[in-house]
Chain A
Amino acid sequence: MGAVMSIEEIVGSLDSGMTIGIGGWGSRRKPMALVRAICRSSLTDLTVVSYGGPDVGLLCAAGKVRRVVAPFVTLDSIALEPHFRAARQSGAIEFTEYDEGMFMFGLLAGAHRLPFLPTRAGLGSDVLRVVPGLRTVRSPYEDGEELVAVPALTMDAALVHLDLADTRGNGRYLGADPYLDDLFAKAAARCYVSCERMVEPGGLGGPPQTLLVSRMHVTGVVETPDGGHFTGRGPGGERDEAFQRHYAASAADPEAWAAFADRFLSGDEAAYQEAVRRWHERDRVEGETR
């Protein structure tokens, strides 16, 4: 049963060299408070498995990443993730690049203790050239079709962010898309859930099909109000586009990034939230006096 933990306790339970799965999709419902805490920690040499967004970017910028396993890294409303690009172009990280359907089949295999799952996705493409060790498998039936054998994506730990969770670790999403968070939870040896708001057991409400993550797969749960910021969440927690633009613009220039990191990332999560609040306040005031 999931235990209520602090951000620091969760990150403190991780080790350098681990393979860490991160839920959400692009710049959508990412466990950003936990990602920020990893950036502050002494962890290094991580393999990050993600439908990548600013989670991957921030971890690359903080020098925490050895390898990224992903079908893409994007900020959605801004197509390209600047820190991920820089890390790839400087050769700072290794990259395992899958088609996004292949990636889901890898998660499905990992979540169900299968060594691989077959799919057409990847055939004929250069994914088979650039991912070492990726193999095909032939159908034993009459069709004899050759398919890609996507290896199971398993992880030492997964981090997912949900709109609501209870103190036992059951989690619910409020938006239109669950992404693949339940598969991340099942494919990892341990899963940690952060949530916008924590309730007592039985208090999650809503249609049962929105109860995405079960406590049977959750090791720890933490309440992180606005912890998905600046990515999009369910109703009331839309992506902070203005701040994301500020992030991307800062990331494109070393001096601006140093200023961004100093202002937003040098303290704990409460300091981050306060710095963001003040940034918006100043932004608004400047907008009014313009």
Chain B
Amino acid sequence: MSAASGTSAATRAEICVVACAEAWRGDGEVLAAAMGTCSILGARLARHTFEPGLLTTDGGALLTAEPVAFGAPAGAVEGWLPFRDHLWLVQNGRRHVMMGASQIDRHGNTNISAIGDWARPKSQLLGVRGAPGNTIANPTSYWIPRHSTRVFVPQVDMVSGVGFDRAAALGPGASRFHGLRRVVTDLAVLDFGTPDRSMRLVSVHPGVEVQRVVTATGFELVIEGDVPETRRPAEEELRLIREVLDPKALRDQEVRA
């Protein structure tokens, strides 16, 4: 490869794409459903590299034979997944979704519906969309492009996506398919791998101080010892992101360098 691609440092957006891709490691043959530029790129990168069994879409109703570039036509197709079948697949369970969240709390309850009093919201957002069904029936991760105390709040205003405390309250029957895997932000990777399932800082992205993550989080994070750095993209991953999956660098519009 050229010297340029051989030595150039990864941007923050590229680190985020790889951190998102890692969410699907070990998942095997399931649909990698993603919303947001870096998480869509992450799903396709994972399929290109360490998780070739994943299924990915063209962003619409088509399961593509190969992971395609962001926004590109489907090319060869290996399956059909119109919205109605996508909703059935949620019930079936062979799916790991990475959603966005306007608010998230320490147990992973998330809100994409409305800010303020639901009856008369200060800010009406999307509505719950598929978040209730996704979280109760599928492994779910989150991609949050701007880590701040506006998003990481002590309590969400409307529970759209179900967190661990809510799932536990349902009992083992109803919660047996619930599982929040990881939260990737522009600053860090987090998970819920603690005894009481509260949010833990797994790694900080290169160049990010732990204190910066703490300051940007509106509740107390679990921090165990020295927090490692999020892994840097491998050369092949950088090549795939830059030359194959996102040659127009749309990732940089979501996460600034």
Contacts and interface: CB of A to CB of B under 8 A. Distances in A.
Interface of A: 25, 51-52, 70-74, 79-80, 84-85, 88-89, 91, 97-102, 104, 119-127, 129-130, 143-147, 176-180
Given A89-B123, A100-B130, A126-B159, A120 B136 contact: yes
A86 to B, nearest CB: 8
Contacts of B130: 71, 99-101, 121
Find the residue from A74, A100, A129 having the highest chain B CB count within 10 A.
A100
Contacts of B60: 176-177
A84 B125 CA distance: 10
Given A121-B133, A121-B137, A71 B120 contact: no
A72 B124 contact: no
A177 B124 CA distance: 28
A102 B121 CA distance: 23
Interface in B83-137: 83-84, 87, 90-91, 113-114, 118-133, 135-137
A101 B133 contact: yes
A145 B122 contact: no
A102 B167 contact: no
Given A89-B123, A121-B132, A130-B119, 9 more contacts: A73-B127, A89-B124, A121-B136, A122-B133, A124-B159, A124-B162, A126-B159, A143-B173, A176-B61
Q: Which 10 pairs show the lowest CB-CB distances between chains A and B?
A: A121-B133, A72-B127, A125-B132, A88-B124, A124-B162, A176-B61, A99-B132, A101-B133, A126-B159, A124-B166
B228 interface: no
A127 to B, nearest CB: 6
A127 B132 contact: yes
Contacts of A180: 83-84
Find the residue from B120, B123, B160, B174 having the highest chain A CB count within 10 A.
B174
B169 interface: yes
B219 interface: no
A122 B120 contact: no
Interface of B: 60-62, 80, 82-84, 87, 90-91, 113-114, 118-133, 135-137, 158-162, 166-167, 169-170, 173-175, 177-178
A97 B113 contact: yes
A204 B94 CA distance: 36
A89 B131 contact: no
Given A89-B123, A99-B130, A124 B167 contact: yes
Given A88-B121, A122-B132, A123-B132, A177 B170 contact: no
Contacts of B169: 124
A256 to B, nearest CB: 20
Nearest to B163: A124
Contact of A179 (B62, B83, B178): B83
Nearest to B100: A79
Q: Is the interface of A mostly helix, strand, loop or mixed?
A: loop
A130 B160 CA distance: 11
Contact of A79 (B90, B126, B135): B126
B173 A144 contact: yes
Contacts of B120: 88-89, 91
25 contacts: A71-B127, A91-B120, A97-B113, A97-B127, A101-B90, A101-B133, A120-B133, A120-B174, A121-B90, A121-B91, A121-B130, A121-B133, A123-B162, A123-B170, A124-B159, A124-B162, A124-B170, A124-B174, A124-B178, A125-B136, A125-B162, A145-B174, A177-B60, A179-B82, A179-B84
B163 to A, nearest CB: 8
A121 B170 CA distance: 13
Contacts of A129: 159
A177 B129 contact: no
B124 A130 contact: no
B170 A99 contact: no
A8 B175 CA distance: 50
Contacts of B122: 89
Nearest to A68: B127
Contacts of A72: 126-129
Nearest to A130: B118
A72 B136 CA distance: 18
Contacts of B91: 101, 119-121
A74 B125 CA distance: 9
Contacts of A102: 132-133
B125 to A, nearest CB: 7
A104 B166 CA distance: 24
Contacts of B128: 71-72, 97-99, 125, 127
Contact of A125 (B114, B127, B131): B131
Given A97-B127, A100-B129, A124-B174, A177 B83 contact: yes
